[in-house]
Amino acid sequence: MASKQKNAISLYDTTLRDGSQGEEVSFTLEDKLLITQKLDELGIHYIEAGWPGSNPKDLDYFRQACKLKLKKAKVTAFGSTRHPKYAPAKDPNLQALLKAETSVVTIFGKTWDFHATDALKISLKKNLELIYDSVAFLKKRVDEVIFDAEHFFDGYLANPDYALQALKAAGQGGASFIVLCDTNGGTLPHTVEELVQKVKALFDVPIGIHCHNDCELGVANSLSALRAGASQVHGTINGIGERCGNANLISVIANLQLKLKKHILNNKQLNKLQEVSHYVDELSNRTPNHQQAFVGRSAFAHKGGIHVSAVMKNPSTYEHILPEQVGNHRRFLLSDLSGTSNILVKAQEFGVDLKKKDPLVKKLVNDLKDLENQGFQFEGAEASFEILMKKAKGEYKDFFRVVAFRVLDQKDQKNEMPLSEATVQVAVDGVSEHTAALGHGPVNALDHALRKALERFFPQLKKVHLIDYKVRVLPGHAGTASKVRVLIESSDDKSKWGTVGVSENIIQASCMALVDSLEFKLMKDKVSRARNLLRKNNSKK
């Protein structure tokens, strides 16, 4: 029987249900409501938000979700087929799904014969009854019923006839979509494509795909299924989920839109991919994966001098799409692999007038390689390199000078934490300031003392705070006397910047990075004031 499936592809997000089953992932009720709105803004068609029969938080979510003013997305409740000992009308799980009051309900059922006989401990015939009864009962009461054919691919390979009988039961019950699930994540793309084609040819019901990432093929398998005729794709933002996660819906969307030319989202929505990716990471308390395809910080980062030179001439030499299409941006990195092109690009970014034949360019390349050889790293500390470049150009004057500092750790009681105290002397335009401060550890005490000394002269430094501090012992044979590299990330709530310090002494390395951080803030504010003054004078003219 020929298939009458829709040509349009619908996006089905299960971040809030399947994604929340990932290790170290937990969403509050407020998180789930905020993510629902963000997914709706992105243009997701279905948002599987939870299992109302499994926990009180999901029940609360569905009570609150109905108040959200969503533009496009359909919130979906998730559950299982009925329990073998209950009729549908008496089954607690099905009743909980109806109480969620969503227009769409998704239920999963067993399509692998041994799951029915060994996991549920029921006959194969009884399992088919559960599928049909549950789908038919719900379809009379909600607009759409989506059937997740759990373990379909493994089930088909073990017993093709029975797996197809399970799909047939769901179709006869009135399923709106039959979703083929690679639940164990072990199927290869060519098998997925072949079986989706077979199922599509046998059923009039639209087919969906739900893949897990245990072989790191979740996205590839999803795309293979869509190429074979599936018209609904399931996944999670950033691929979070149980074990190795689910198909990454961010990558699925980008590939569908930009590679397969399936225009599901408009350009404005596509531009939100990185924003949504980082938003979900933030609410799930995860550090974004810099190497994540399309939206990662490093996805369009160029380090080698030859690459940088080529990209400056034509980005397509080393980029498969324009980063702005998915809300990302191009970055050029500084390292001992850098060449003239890296320095010229950074000079342009920093507002430093450098020409290719300027002898200073070669000097900066050599200085960079030498500093990296000493242990400095400027990939995450571009603020330090901007200061270095402007000093080399003669366009930088220190705002202050650290004359001396001393840090003491004192421990009086056995069970108490040591007390750290830092004393700092700074000089600003010939005026000396000498002060002390306490802190949680020597670096924190030094940071407090330095700010305390400088805020008299530069009150804007009160806005600066450290958001990250990393220490790495550099390779060597000096043991505890080895060099350390300190990387500091700072923010003034408007922007972020990184600085670096290297020394055999961790306090000295930290002081170097701290001084650069505060100097950069003052330099940035001075440039901003100069630009504002220039604009004001030009407007008067």
pLDDT in tens, 401-435: 999 999 998 877 777 778 899 999 999 999 999 99
Calculate Rg over the CA atoms of the chain: 30
Do residues 120 and 84 make contact, with C-beta atoms less than 8 angstroms apart? yes
Helix, strand, coil percent content, the chain, rounded in steps of 5: 45, 20, 35
pLDDT in tens, 345-365: 888 888 888 888 888 888 888
Question: Residue 3: its pLDDT value, please?
Answer: 43
> In the predicted model, is pLDDT for residue 446 greater than 90?
yes
Backbone dihedral angles phi then psi of residue 108, each to the nearest 5 degrees: -110, 150
Question: Residue 427: its pLDDT value, please?
Answer: 95
CATH class of this structure's domain 401-537: alpha beta
What is the pLDDT averaged over residues 328-356? 81
Residue 396: band (very low, low, confident or very high) from pLDDT cuts 50, 70, 90: confident
Question: Residue 215: its pLDDT value, please?
Answer: 98
Tokens linked to 458: 């530069």
Length of the chain: 541
Do residues 222 and 247 make contact, with C-beta atoms less than 8 angstroms apart? yes
Task: Please tell me the distance from the alpha carbon of residue 198 to that of residue 218, in angstroms, as a whole number.
Answer: 20
Amino acid at the residue 82: R
Which one has a higher pLDDT value, 238 or 396? 238
Residue 532: band (very low, low, confident or very high) from pLDDT cuts 50, 70, 90: low
Within the chain, which residue ranges are assigned CATH 3.20.20.70? 12-283
Say what the pTM is.
0.76
Task: Please tell me the distance from the alpha carbon of residue 223 to that of residue 229, in angstroms, as a whole number.
Answer: 10
Task: Give me the architecture of the 12-283 domain, per CATH.
Answer: Alpha-Beta Barrel (3.20)
Question: Residue 69: its pLDDT value, please?
Answer: 93
Residue 1: band (very low, low, confident or very high) from pLDDT cuts 50, 70, 90: very low
> In the predicted model, is pLDDT for residue 394 greater than 90?
no
CA angle, residues 26, 73, 140, in degrees to nearest 5: 100
Do residues 311 and 320 make contact, with C-beta atoms less than 8 angstroms apart? no
pLDDT in tens, 370-379: 888 888 888 7
In the DSSP assignment, the letter for residue 418 is: P
Do residues 134 and 98 make contact, with C-beta atoms less than 8 angstroms apart? no
Within the chain, which residue ranges are assigned CATH 3.30.160.270? 401-537
In sequence order, the 6+-apart residues with CB closer than 8 A to the CB of 536 are none
Amino acid at the residue 177: F
How is 26-85 classified by DSSP, letter by letter? ---HHHHHHHHHHHHHHT-SEEEEE-TTT-HHHHHHHHHHTTS--SS-EEEEEEEPPPTT
